[in-house]
A and B are shown apart, each in its own frame.
Chain A
Amino acid sequence: MFFRVLSGECLKLKRTLALWMALVSPLLMVLLQFGVSFKGASVFLRDGKDAWPPMVRQTVEVWTLLMMPLFVTLETSLLAGLENTGKNWKSLLALPSPRWTVYSAKLVVAIALLWAAHAVLIGGTIVSGLLLQLLHPALNLGNIPLSPFIPPMLRVSVSALLAVAIQHWVSLRWQSYTAAMGFGMCAMIAGVFASQSAALGSWFPWSLPIRAVMDGAAGQDRITALAVGGAIVAASMGCWEFVKREIA
């Protein structure tokens, strides 16, 4: 039953802004990075050294710090909005599928869209780097550096799970788009500040991805455990509340 519900949720994405965002947000980031590298290449010129590492680091950091929290907030709100705007809950929940399948299918879609955006970001950055190699040889771009790029993005993908699970719960809990957006924005700002403190940033859900980038592989085990464990707890609590909820 879960997979039947999930396939229905995937169909709902057709022609939605939520689906387009998974493509457009990372590509916007790639485009900005490309523009900066092309026109303001001095930022990355380091005495003939390969410009790939600083470019990639900047891409990962800006995405993690700013774009991703916004993306998570918007995506989860838009996904919940599919049901909230048309008051569709009553007919969706009157279908013969256990409610937990609806909640978890929507969460899986939210996570899948985030990871798809990460895949687009990685692919787009590589393509833009190859283009820059042709158009701007002064950048001295060598081989595509997978190690400073792919592992951090994987760490970010995993450490964002807790924030996604919480934001998903909030978006489904309150039908108001504003409430979910307000919550996400406040959490994002708090996350930026909290990440400046090693002690606080290692616990705050919205700081975990930032710390995953800042701390590197060293602190990843603890961050992964916290993000995955926390996401399971948040998803279970949200699911429990959703199953009990009355649709008036």
Chain B
Amino acid sequence: MPDCVISTDAATKLFSGKPAVRNVSLRVPTGSIYAFLGPNGAGKSTTIRMLLGLLRPSCGGIAIFGLDLRRHRNEILAHTGSLVETPSVYEHLSARENLEIPRRILDAPRSDIDRVLRIVGLEIASRKLVGTFSLGMKQRLGLAQALLGKRELLILDEPTNGLDPAGIQEMRSLIRQLPAQHGVTVFLSSHLLTEVEQVATHVGMLSQGELVFQGTIGELEGRRRSYLRVGVGDIESAWALLKARGWCVSQSNGYLVSSDTGAAAAMNRTLVEAGIAVHYLAVESASLEEVFLKMTQSEVN
């Protein structure tokens, strides 16, 4: 098994000459939960469709399990389960019958259906028609389809889309257990970092079709910048005073904000001596969500 399950080499996809995805070079380590993040329209689904062979890259290459996707599509897909956006199900069939179709194609043993139904917790509803299922149940059935057979990689496109908070929590705990308990590498996309930061080990951020960050969650944490937040009585006077003294400050949500965290005491003294009441003073760090938004929005802007 190579170190990277997915490895793309400047993968690019053009639609009518316009790039939807540009020079994306992903490295998804074996055994990781890789969160592929980006705002809506960033190119996540296009990238995922390329990884599944549904779209052909306009240029660049894609290797999965160390094999070229163009030449070894079926071999790769035999070990790759997927759930792309809304789950694809046949509503006139039962959950078990829905799983029987891919099972036959994968030539997996019949007992595999029971195994995946157990994993996603749909054993009791397995003989019910899928048309009667809630969206959460359909999503779990989609995940069960993706887990059928000997899957070593799961590609999940926005797996929590449309789910209620309980459903999101359920899906999250299902995903979290996959690498350890089933030896599966998970590649999942989302437009919300908060949704995946609790489960992901690695992160790739896409903005306007380009990969703007790729690394471990720890490396992303390293991008979190600390800043000084100051709450004062008269914000305009305080801001003018600190600017006049040469500090770089800005106003944000009724607070003064400065990247100069070492100047907390000096700023406090200056403000107090000038008769401006200071009611809040703290060094804070940007949340991962803020880092994500800054990275993706700065590209957009």
Contact = CB atoms under 8 A, between A and B. Distances in A.
Contacts of B145: 91
Interface stretch (A4-12, A114-122, A152-160): A4-12
B99 to A, nearest CB: 11
A16 interface: yes
Interface residues of A, number: 27
Contacts of A5: 104-105
B102 to A, nearest CB: 6
A123 to B, nearest CB: 27
B55 A11 contact: no
B74 A97 contact: yes
A15 B49 CA distance: 31
Interface in A199-248: 246-248
Contact of B104 (A7, A246, A248): A7
Interface string B159-202: 00000000000000000000000000000000000000000000
B89 A86 contact: yes
A16 B77 CA distance: 29
The secondary-structure label for the interface of chain B is mixed
A96 interface: yes
A5 B107 CA distance: 10
| Interface bracket on B | 35 or more
A246 B54 contact: yes
Interface string A9-26: 001101110000000000
Interface stretch (B25-33, B80-88, B249-257, B278-286): B80-88
A15 B94 CA distance: 11
B97 A14 contact: yes
Given A11-B100, A247-B55, A248-B46, 20 more contacts: A4-B104, A7-B104, A8-B100, A12-B101, A15-B92, A86-B88, A86-B89, A87-B88, A89-B88, A90-B84, A90-B85, A93-B54, A94-B52, A95-B106, A96-B74, A96-B78, A96-B105, A96-B106, A97-B74, A246-B55
